Amino acid sequence: MIAEFTSGARDGSARAGSVRLARGEVATPGFMPVATRGTVRALPTHVLAGLRTANDAGFDLLLSNTYHLMLRPGAEAVAELGGLHAFTGWDGPMLTDSGGYQVFSLEPRVTDEGAEFASTYDGSRHLLTPELAVQVQELLGADVQMVLDVCPPLPSSREVLERAVDTTEAWARRALRARTRLGDQSLFGIVQGGVDIGLRAQAAERTVALGFDGSAIGGLSVGESRAEMLPAIEAAVAVLPEDRPRYLMGVGDPVSIVEAVARGIDLFYCVLPTRLARHGTLLTDGGRLNITRAEFARDPGPIQAGCTCPSCTHYERGLLRHLAAVDEPAAATICTIHNLWWMLQLIERIRTAIGEGRLTALRAEVAAVWDPSPPG
Ligand SMILES: [Zn+2]
């Protein structure tokens, strides 16, 4: 199913709009929380679904990790329980990754056939192929599935990057041949190419030529600087079609999000806001705040003054500091709610700025807090 992008307001190369998927519309720019093993960690799905701003903006798209679900409880078990939506209790649009990113972090044996890896659960050996990634994601049944790609770390040699682009293209062809679920599932291709501008553009052209329902830019935020990353995004976006969503994988710090939006990116995911929350680090308009610090032990204020999220409405810093200090699981939940809410607010500010032609001013505001002394 083609993931059709409808454009609304524009500001330079930035665009606001919506993407039509099998289970509904996704407003863009949009940020996806990550439901690693069926829920966002420390956050029941009905709570996530209830996070909506005064303007009724919420998280329209949820990402689930194929790697974890295929090993535990297994894609067949999820399918028997009605597919990922019924299984997780999330009835809106969902996206699954291919499992490749986790597999490649385990330093698998990569051949033309696929990637052979040892399960982090029990050490058992598995071969993830492009066909198996499709088959598993069809069983899971998300609205969007991703092709298996090769994501090299940066820096890598030109030879390694070229080989990753070649293998990614060969695997993409096999994924397209393997898919059977065309009516209610979109398949996105992935553009690799490291931070080499020419190779990125070439990889984007080769991906687009295969005719995917949407496109993603992968292989970034893997060791390079932001100054290297942004031109690579520009090179890929210049080739990607206007009428399909552009999804930037694994990039989620505030400056990179707003800068990537300015270059035409629509969709993001990143584990950073939820991972930080579990360690007591909160995102605020003034920057990061670590709630475990002793100075908050007797602080009656909310995490962030003026924040209307359920955590700031109900709890004070003193309680949260105590819960974090005694390792109470609710601390992670309360912090996760605030951090995801903060991401929603950031996305709303970006959409509003695009609508009002003020994105340049917002980029400066975000950089002033999150990147006060950019290199160069
Ligand atoms: Zn809050």
Structure tokens at 289: 């705040």
Ligand 1 centre to CA of 78 (Å) is: 34
Ligand 1 centre to CA of 255 (Å) is: 20
| Three-state SS annotation for the chain | CCCEEEEEEEECCEEEEEEEECCEEEEECEEECEECCCCECCECHHHHHCCCCCCCCCCCCEEECHHHHHHCCCHHHHHHCCCHHHHHCCCCCEEECCCHHHHHHCCCEECCCCEEEECCCCCCEEEECHHHHHHHHHHHCCCEEECCCCCCCCCCCHHHHHHHHHHHHHHHHHHHHHCCCCCCCEEEEEECCCCCHHHHHHHHHHHHHCCCCEEEECCCCCCCCHHHHHHHHHHHHCCCCCCCCEEECCCCCHHHHHHHHHCCCCEEECCHHHHHHHCCEEEECCEEEECCCHHHCCCCCCCCCCCCCHHHHHCCHHHHHHHHHCCCHHHHHHHHHHHHHHHHHHHHHHHHHHHHCCHHHHHHHHHHHHCCCCCC
281-284 and 30-32 beta bridge pairing: unpaired
- Per-residue pLDDT of 48-102, as tens digits, reads 999 999 999 999 999 999 999 999 999 999 999 999 999 999 999 999 999 999 9
- Per-residue pLDDT of 234-271, as tens digits, reads 999 999 999 999 999 999 999 999 999 999 999 999 99
Ligand 1 centre to CA of 306 (Å) is: 8
Ligand 1 centre to CA of 309 (Å) is: 4
Q: How far is CA 349 from the centre of its chain?
A: 19
**Amino acid identity at 171:** W
Ligand 1 centre to CA of 86 (Å) is: 29
- Write down the pLDDT at residue 251: 94
Ligand 1 centre to CA of 293 (Å) is: 18
Ligand 1 centre to CA of 38 (Å) is: 24
**Amino acid identity at 30:** G
Q: Where are the domains of the chain?
A: 13-267
- Write down the pLDDT at residue 376: 47
- With bands split at pLDDT 50, 70 and 90, how would you rate the model's confidence at 372? confident
Output the average pLDDT for the chain: 97
Ligand 1 centre to CA of 284 (Å) is: 8
The pLDDT of 1-17, averaged and rounded, is 97
- Write down the pLDDT at residue 8: 97
Q: Contact at 8 Å (CB) between 142 and 84?
A: yes
- With bands split at pLDDT 50, 70 and 90, how would you rate the model's confidence at 374? low
Alpha carbon of 322 to those of 94, 226, 291, 318: distances in Å? Answer: 35, 36, 9, 6
Give the C-alpha separation, 41 to 35, whole Å: 7
Give the C-alpha separation, 128 to 139, whole Å: 15
Give the C-alpha separation, 117 to 104, whole Å: 8
- Per-residue pLDDT of 298-319, as tens digits, reads 999 999 999 999 999 999 999 9
State the Rg of the chain over Cα.
Answer: 20
**Amino acid identity at 358:** R
Number of Cβ atoms within 10 Å of the Cβ of 108: 19
Give the C-alpha separation, 332 to 320, whole Å: 9
User: pLDDT over 90 for what percent of the chain?
Assistant: 98
Ligand 1 centre to CA of 234 (Å) is: 33
| Peptide bond between residue 29 and the one before it cis (omega within 30 degrees of 0) | yes
Ligand 1 centre to CA of 303 (Å) is: 6
Residue 4 has pLDDT above 80, yes or no: yes
Give the C-alpha separation, 81 to 146, whole Å: 22
Ligand 1 centre to CA of 40 (Å) is: 18
- Per-residue pLDDT of 136-183, as tens digits, reads 999 999 999 999 999 999 999 999 999 999 999 999 999 999 999 999
CATH number for the segment(s) 13-267 = 3.20.20.105
Ligand 1 centre to CA of 371 (Å) is: 22
**Amino acid identity at 116:** E
Ligand 1 centre to CA of 338 (Å) is: 4
Q: Contact at 8 Å (CB) between 180 and 208?
A: no
Ligand 1 centre to CA of 321 (Å) is: 15
pTM exceeds 0.95, yes or no: yes
User: pLDDT over 70 for what percent of the chain?
Assistant: 99
